[in-house]
Structure 1
Amino acid sequence: MLGTQIGVSLFKVIWKSFGIFIRRKIDPATAEHHRRVYWGSKKPELRGQSVVKPGHLLIDCTVFKEKSLKEIYQKIEELIHCFLCFIKHMVTLYKHSKLCSECGGRHHTSLHFNTSNSDLQLPVMNALFSLAENYPYRPKVLLSTITVLKHDASGHYHEARALLVGGNQCSFMTEHCDPENIIRRIQFPGNVIWTFGGKKPVEMENWLKITLYVSLFACFRDFRPVDSFYTSYLTSPAVNFTSEQVSREIYPINSYATTSLVVIMFLITDYLLYKPIVMLDAFSSIIMFLLVLEPVTLFKSKISMVFLGLTSASELAYTSYAYAKITDRKLYQKMTGVIRGSNLLGKCVSSTFSQIAISYMHLDYSLLVYLSLMGSIMAFVVTFFFPSVHSSVYFYPESPISATKHKNYKTIDDKSHKVATKLYFEKKSPTPVRVVLNQLFLELRDVCNNPYLLKYGIWFGFATGIYFQVLTYNDVLYLKLNNEDPVNNKLYNGGVDAIAFITGSFSSYYIGFLKVEWQSASNMFFFIGSLLCCTSLCVCYYTSSLNLVYIMYIIYCFIFQSMNVVARSETAKHLKHESFAFIFGVAYFISLVISSALTYLFVQGTIYAMPVNVQFLFYGLINGGLALWYLFSILISK
């Protein structure tokens, strides 16, 4: 019996020694924890560090207990001992079941800062060094946060907690920097609106949803198969207007109506919070196509041009709506490219279908009117899914109001019922018109005093005005060349429009995601683009080949759409305030004034009645003047 007990004891000693040997090989720090380390150890790395007699535990030493916390901390750090059990190992490599009974920290209760013998002055650590080099344990880190209100896709505000600074050693603090618990500690609620090195999920989801809705609207809005053959429809036997009536009596009404209505539109868009104007855009298009259903009279055609002008005047509302709903200006270039690409995609699909319907299916032009009406109805339906805008820059601004509320926070130190101050937004009553007009004037003055924005405004006014003229009277030029040589100059208006719009769509989408420093590269880009537009339009005057005119038209649309995306996105990004509808409306109004002036002076013949091919030469020379202006800007900047 005695021999059995001796054998079992011997086996336990051997087994324990073997276990310690294995643990040393696998994890020396953990194995070190199971050894009794004394303050007066004779180990080489601890030799000469004795402050008490060897042979007893540090935790039981009376001399140790009489030392100040500062001396104890210095000695423990010097010996690389655990702050919980005073044994040599890193605190993160061994799980202790007991913590400080005072604060729950990862240190022994006798080392708590609020004890009577605490004269410890915490050192200010250099943020360039790792915390592990200063403290052998991992303290809790306090990050600066703030309660904010973030609006969702519907415009409603929700409380979220945002990080103010990055989670790096240059910006955080530990609990030891606040020994008296002056700083309120709360558990992180988890509804992050900004993560370091990541994205903003609320903002990203909002951007995708708004862009999708607006892109669908733009696609259906411009699904108008009749546009490619509208002149042919009005001059067909079913309607029986002459080409002279179409170009001088019907089409000019569109320019005049758009010019007069656009002023009203961009002034009331902000007041009506964008969405009603977007709905008016689609609804007026529906009325326009209803008026040109057979039988068509001259009076109905002129009235339809008024509603077409209303549609054109409201065009900026849906892009301004997108800018107003998306607050991150870094997304403006992408969003503009996607929306503009969707707009041109709708035109491409409608032009392709119209060309197939006329050339291969031999359908009547009136069917194209019905299909265009269906596209406008679909666009009107999509507007009901648009989230409402609850505030605007001028008439309905939102102001932060400070409010103090008592909330029950779950804190680290189990303290609750803290007093929290937060910000919420209160919707003001409508601002007086006089104040709004003064704000609009100041906004316009700021834009005019900014050379970078003024450059885009001048280009937008002249280039877009010329673009309107080209889109309006290209059918007249096609029909003229077709009548001169019906055999060689066959009409492929729909197919050409499809190619022009799809290439413009691709260029808009690509430009939207192109990472270029436009402040330095814009002058060269617009110089080359304006020069190519000048060349393509001038060729239309010198040639009698309709196919070559088609090619020049495709090139012109491709270049214009590329420059248009850059001009819109850069203007939106550099505005001081979110006055998108007003600034774009002013630029749009200037372009319409230029278009109406050209129509009144040279199309209707008030000064000189230009033939349609001479008009294209004149439009090309205007683009040439823009190219020279940008070339001069390049030379001046150098």
Structure 2
Amino acid sequence: MSEPWLFPTVLLCMYGFFSNLRPSEPFLTAFLMGPDKNLSETQVVNEIYPLWTYSYLVLLFPVFLATDYLRYKPLLILQAASLIVTYTMLVKTQGVLAMQILEFFFGMATATDIAYYSYIYSVVEPAQYQKVTGFCRSITLLGSAIGSLLGQLLVSVAEVPLLYLCVITLACASIAFLTPWFLPMPAKSLFFHQKDGGNQDALTAEATTDPLKDRLECKVPLHSEEAVVHEEATRGLLAVLRVLWEDFLQSYSCKTLLAWSVWWALSTCGYFQVVNYVQALWEKILPSSEFHIYNGYVETISTLMGALAAFAVGYMKVSWEVWGELALCTFSVVIAGAVYLMDTIMNIWVCYVSYVIFRATYMLLITIATYQIAANLSMKRYALVFGVNTFIALLLQTLLTVIVVDTSGLGLDIIQQFLIYASYFAVIAVIFLLAGLYKWRRSRRASEHVVQTGEAHSIGDGMVNRI
């Protein structure tokens, strides 16, 4: 443990692994609609699951501020406690109301994810950011994949009842609960607690010396040194909110960042809807009470394929500033087609394969979007923009849920819902097709203007020579 960053990174990776090791996750809908809970499809899809979306949306911004003010560690403990409450209720309680309260606590656990991904930046040096980020993100995917595979093997091979999978998930959450207590308490945070300006200066230097960032269309400037010093001297809630608002306006004035952020928000909304309700679609096509289901294998494969796609981004030699909108349009068509096949073919194997394609494609694009956004920002604005994008995605998802899913709205069945989700991604593809055509036309006009200007200069030079 000679490296100062190693101890907190190992603890955080242990926490990420066990908190995402959830063997029950691929079989949640089957469990709720099975003999243990005996809930109907309408109750699960239209009355219980929407509560996660609503609670996540309501809690996201307060949790964002509380995470920074309390310096991350207490929020990690809160997240672990929320997971324990969630899975204890899943094992012990019955009825729609209990499951709705469960969804609220799970929404709290999801909202506090920001503490997990922000903590490490407050205790390690900027030179280690890329390394520890890779460790933390890969270990959560590994935990999710192993949990899904373990759940499927226990169901298919050992024929373990689904209730026992929930007990195992609760045990993993309890192990995860122990690890945050041993994490060192950060001395500083991004907004409320600033020990000194050194770390920010390092970030500024890093942002301005990276040659890759110089090739992008725009970079968002940081506050001046005098402004930072003044803000740190008067740092309070109102000052932090003012800084956040100014950073928000400056960040989204960058057209490159804005384009990728729009795709991020729109697509993440649709992704959440598909992932949240796909088990209900599988249950409709192949009821778990009548057939063997393979949800765990599918979740494992899709997670690993998504991780592989995300890994491949680092080796792609593509000018995303030129081809970004076209790529977003093309892959959004692929996503829309995969969701449409899931909904219309009504064959479980086609549905499984389409789901794997859907998740892998989304993971590929969201990794590219993450990279493109982060390349234009300091670490402070990185957290802000990602939080804003997620909030907008949740706001859109809430509207979609209220209109399409909730019984207070249309309350459509799962087949009709997925037809709407496929159409939603098709609309995203059209939006970025139009954006790409507009960008191409604008660049062509600029090229023609340069050519015409060059010809005019040539004619003028020739006239001068003749004179």
Structure 1 counterpart of 2:38: 240
Counterpart of 1:340 (choices 134, 137, 140) is 137
Q: Percent identity?
A: 26
Counterpart of 2:282 (choices 441, 456, 478) is 478
For 2:128 and 2:376, the matched residues in 1 are separated by 11
**SS of corresponding position for 1:293:** helix
* Contact kept in structure 2, 1:281 and 1:314, CA below 8 Å: yes
**SS of corresponding position for 2:235:** coil
Structure with greater Cα Rg: 1
What is the RMSD computed on CA atoms of the aligned residues?
2.9
**SS of corresponding position for 1:600:** helix
Structure 2 counterpart of 1:503: 305
Counterpart of 1:552 (choices 354, 368, 378) is 354
Task: Kindly indicate which of the two structures has a greater share of residues assigned to helix.
Answer: 2
Distance of aligned partners of 1:300 and 1:506 in 2 relative to their CA distance in 1, 3 Å threshold: same
Q: Deviations over 1:242-282 (max 9, x none)?
A: 22211122111111111111121112221112222222212
Q: How does 1:123-142 map to 2 (within 5 A)?
A: none
For 1:572 and 1:380, the matched residues in 2 are separated by 30
* Contact kept in structure 1, 2:405 and 2:412, CA below 8 Å: yes
Counterpart of 1:462 (choices 266, 272, 283) is 266
TM-score (structure 2 length as normaliser): 0.80
Q: How does 1:16-95 map to 2 (within 5 A)?
A: none
Q: Which amino acid aligns with 2:344?
A: Y
Structure 1 counterpart of 2:191: 394
Counterpart of 1:220 (choices 15, 18, 21) is 18
For 2:255 and 2:146, the matched residues in 1 are separated by 39
For 1:210 and 1:450, the matched residues in 2 are separated by 35
Structure 1 counterpart of 2:410: 608
Distance of aligned partners of 1:358 and 1:316 in 2 relative to their CA distance in 1, 3 Å threshold: same
For 2:294 and 2:251, the matched residues in 1 are separated by 43
For 1:215 and 1:621, the matched residues in 2 are separated by 38
1:309 aligns to 2:136 (yes or no):
no
Greater RCO structure (CA 8 Å; 6+ sep): 2
Distance of aligned partners of 1:366 and 1:557 in 2 relative to their CA distance in 1, 3 Å threshold: same
* Contact kept in structure 2, 1:218 and 1:346, CA below 8 Å: yes
1:530 aligns to 2:332 (yes or no):
yes
Distance of aligned partners of 1:281 and 1:537 in 2 relative to their CA distance in 1, 3 Å threshold: same
For 1:471 and 1:520, the matched residues in 2 are separated by 31
TM-score (structure 1 length as normaliser): 0.59
Q: Which amino acid aligns with 1:296?
A: Q
Structure 2 counterpart of 1:439: 243
Q: Deviations over 1:193-227 (max 9, x none)?
A: xxxxxxxxx9xx56666654443332222111111
1:449 aligns to 2:253 (yes or no):
yes
Distance of aligned partners of 1:454 and 1:213 in 2 relative to their CA distance in 1, 3 Å threshold: farther
Structure 1 counterpart of 2:54: 256
Distance of aligned partners of 1:326 and 1:590 in 2 relative to their CA distance in 1, 3 Å threshold: farther
* Contact kept in structure 1, 2:121 and 2:129, CA below 8 Å: no
Q: Which amino acid aligns with 2:35?
A: P
For 1:517 and 1:206, the matched residues in 2 are separated by 37
Q: Which amino acid aligns with 1:554?
A: V
**SS of corresponding position for 1:629:** helix
* Contact kept in structure 2, 1:337 and 1:565, CA below 8 Å: no
Q: How does 1:282-321 map to 2 (within 5 A)?
A: 282-321=80-119
Counterpart of 1:566 (choices 354, 360, 368) is 368
Q: Deviations over 1:54-94 (max 9, x none)?
A: xxxxxxxxxxxxxxxxxxxxxxxxxxxxxxxxxxxxxxxxx
Q: Deviations over 1:604-626 (max 9, x none)?
A: 24443322122222212222222
Structure 2 unaligned segments of length 5 or more: list them. 199-228, 441-467
For 2:139 and 2:56, the matched residues in 1 are separated by 23
Q: Once structures 1 and 2 are overlaid, which stretch shifts more, 600-609 or 470-479? A: 600-609
* Contact kept in structure 1, 2:333 and 2:429, CA below 8 Å: yes
